Amino acid sequence: MPEKKTTNRRKMLAAGAGGAAALAAAPAAKAQSSPERKVHWRGDQAPENPLYSPVVTYGNMVFVAGKGAHFKGDVASHTDHVLNTLQSELERVGSSMDKVLKCNVYLANLDDYDAMNAVFRGRFGGEPPVRTTIAAAGGIPGNSLVEIDVIAYI
């Protein structure tokens, strides 16, 4: 007949109080070593009933929500504004443009691809991040001509 496996409860009972404490502490120690998730709000205070988080860090990873340009202008001025905003957000949490790993670019019009690239090129250092670029069907909220989000590290 195969030998029965003992459960954690049986192991704790057999080990006595000291063994039980050690077994119980193991999951707590593991939980303490997991990365911390933190939302970074402008002004360090969350707005009432927020729709999304603007910047989230998880351990040494940084996730920046999509940034757009909500003023009249061309795609070059919008792209420059968005990249400056992203740079500011990254630096605020201890990262930088050259630490960006992944970038998503959303264009209101795919015809603006070359003009966006002219401003984009060189903004992320000598080794740019991986990137996806798409034309957003129906446009971008707030009438921005471009929206960009990034994932970086600290």
In DSSP terms, 62 is beta-bridged to 57, 152
Would you state the pLDDT for residue 12? 43
pLDDT tens digit sequence for 25-84:
555 555 568 899 998 988 778 888 788 889 999 999 999 999 999 999 999 999 999 999
Place of tokens 């860090």: 57
Q: How confident is the model at residue 13 (pLDDT cuts 50, 70, 90)?
A: very low
Determine the Cα–Cα distance for residues 102 and 56; give it in Å rounded to an integer: 15
Query: Averaged over 87-91, what is the pLDDT?
Result: 97
Comparing 57 with 24, which gets the higher pLDDT? 57
Superfamily of chain region 37-153: RutC-like (3.30.1330.40)
Does the pLDDT value for residue 127 go beyond 90? Answer: yes
Would you state the pLDDT for residue 154? 97
Comparing 24 with 126, which gets the higher pLDDT? 126
Would you state the pLDDT for residue 3? 52
β-strands 146-153, 61-68 pairing: antiparallel
The percent of residues in the chain predicted with pLDDT above 70, rounded, is: 79
Comparing 124 with 27, which gets the higher pLDDT? 124
CB 144 within 8 A of CB 71: no
Domain boundaries, the chain: 1-34, 37-153
